[in-house]
């Protein structure tokens, strides 16, 4: 049976304390005794601190394929009153707004070298992205997916908004959707500023927002203001605990754990491709006509250059 900590044992207060304790348990130097499964769960939490900090206990349990009660018991064995206290260690670690998020992920590359670099690491990245996408599919609700496709296809105006690396995803979605229908674009495509761009939208228009930990404050505030104005919000984010989840009418929770030194993008782009493919099918002849008009313009511009 796994043991409980001695009454006078210090409770870990920092992530580094948890890391040292896990290593001590693994090597048999600690008074705590964990089974193989419990130790694997603790290790998984430590290796994904940003996900552990922001996800709910149910989300983490689903991701780790355990019951929520397993996480509660794990926290108690470590000396915490419950899982919330254990999660507080991770939240304090990332409470600086992700100041060390990217460098911490990059630092893991040096400890990963024992598993091989180059093509071997690329293969591991691919497996991780496949696992992220499989986890996304596992918790995806068909009703939400279909409702979002309908909004993207028929919303009066559709805007896509993302910053930092998610600007590339916003551009991709806006480009693809713009191939199929009118009045679909990035929110700030004209560089006139977000306030002016939002002012051009009405209640009932659609705004797709994309961000995950460490969340971009401007994207969060844009989503809040838009929601107050009656604009329908679709969020691509990472957790039920994400600030975007709280303001979105529809949300997709996209796993993004990876060796990559930032948020993994593979599952996000596959989700976007899937949504756009369904929009093309939903629009039928209308979407086909839009593609043909685009092709005609490309031919005419090509002939004139």
The string of pLDDT tens digits covering residues 96-138 is 445 555 555 555 555 556 667 788 878 877 887 887 888 788 8
Give the tokens for residue 238: 């990472």
Does one domain contain both 37 and 139? no
Does one domain contain both 279 and 143? yes
Q: Which of 71-80, 129-138, 239-248, 259-268 has the highest mean pLDDT?
A: 71-80
Q: What is the CATH number of the domain that holds 145?
A: 3.40.50.10490
Residue 233 in this model has a pLDDT that exceeds 70: yes
Length of the chain: 305
Q: Is residue 102 part of a domain?
A: no
Distant-in-sequence, close-in-space partners of 24: CB < 8 Å, separation ≥ 6: 30, 32
Q: Which of 95, 121, 155 is the last residue of a domain?
A: 95
Arithmetic mean of pLDDT, 204-220: 91
Distance, in Å, from the CA atom of 280 to the CA atom of 266, rounded to the nearest integer, reads 21
Does one domain contain both 156 and 247? yes
Q: Is residue 5 part of a domain?
A: no
Q: What is the DSSP track for 215-274?
A: P-HHHHHHHHHHHHTTPEEEEEES-TTSHHHHH-SEEEE-----SSSS---HHHHHHHHH
**Per-residue b or e along 26-57, where b marks 16 or more CB atoms closer than 10 Å to that residue's CB:** eeeebebebeeebbebbbbbbebbbbbbbbeb
Q: Provide the domain count of the chain.
A: 2
Arithmetic mean of pLDDT, 134-151: 91
Distance, in Å, from the CA atom of 88 to the CA atom of 252, rounded to the nearest integer, reads 25
Q: Is residue 231 part of a domain?
A: yes
Query: What's the DSSP call for residue 206?
Result: E
Distance, in Å, from the CA atom of 151 to the CA atom of 158, rounded to the nearest integer, reads 8
Position with higher pLDDT, 35 vs 54? 35
Q: What is the CATH number of the domain that holds 49?
A: 1.10.10.10
Per-residue model confidence (pLDDT) at position 260: 73
Does one domain contain both 57 and 165? no
Per-residue model confidence (pLDDT) at position 1: 43
Does one domain contain both 183 and 283? yes
CB-based contact 101:53 (threshold 8 Å): no
Does one domain contain both 86 and 225? no
Q: Is residue 113 part of a domain?
A: no
Position with higher pLDDT, 260 vs 298? 298
Range of the domain at 29: 15-95
pTM: predicted TM-score of the whole model, two decimal places: 0.67
Does one domain contain both 41 and 171? no
Query: What's the DSSP call for residue 13?
Result: -
Q: Which residues pair with 184 in a beta bridge?
A: 158
């Amino acid at each position: 049976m796994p043991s409980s900590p001695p009454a006078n044992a210090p409770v870990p207060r920092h992530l580094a304390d948890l890391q040292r304790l896990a290593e001590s348990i693994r090597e048999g130097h600690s008074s705590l005794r964990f089974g193989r499964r419990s130790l694997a769960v603790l290790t998984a939490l430590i290796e994904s601190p940003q996900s552990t900090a922001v996800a709910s206990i149910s989300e983490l349990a689903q991701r780790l394929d355990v019951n929520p009660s397993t996480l509660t018991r794990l926290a108690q064995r470590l000396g915490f009153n419950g899982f919330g206290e254990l999660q507080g260690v991770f939240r304090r670690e990332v409470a600086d707004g992700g100041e060390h998020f990217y460098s911490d992920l990059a630092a893991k590359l040096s400890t990963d070298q024992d598993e091989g670099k180059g093509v071997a690491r690329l293969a591991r990245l691919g497996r991780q992205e496949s696992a992220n996408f499989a986890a996304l599919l596992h918790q995806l609700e068909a009703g939400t997916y279909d409702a979002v496709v309908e909004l993207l296809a028929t919303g009066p105006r559709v805007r896509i908004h993302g910053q930092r690396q998610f600007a590339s995803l916003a551009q991709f979605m806006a480009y693809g959707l713009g191939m199929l229908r009118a009045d679909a674009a990035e929110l700030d495509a004209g560089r006139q500023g977000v306030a002016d761009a939002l002012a051009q939208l009405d209640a009932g228009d659609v705004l797709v927002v994309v961000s995950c930990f460490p969340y971009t404050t401007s994207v969060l505030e844009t989503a809040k203001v838009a929601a107050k104005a009656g604009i329908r919000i679709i969020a691509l984010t990472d957790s039920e605990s994400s600030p975007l989840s709280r303001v979105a009418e529809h949300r997709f929770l996209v796993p993004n754990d990876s060796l990559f030194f930032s948020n993994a993008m593979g599952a996000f782009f596959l989700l976007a491709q899937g949504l756009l493919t369904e929009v093309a099918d939903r629009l039928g002849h209308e979407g086909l006509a839009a593609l043909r008009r685009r092709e005609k313009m490309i031919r005419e511009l090509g002939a004139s250059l």
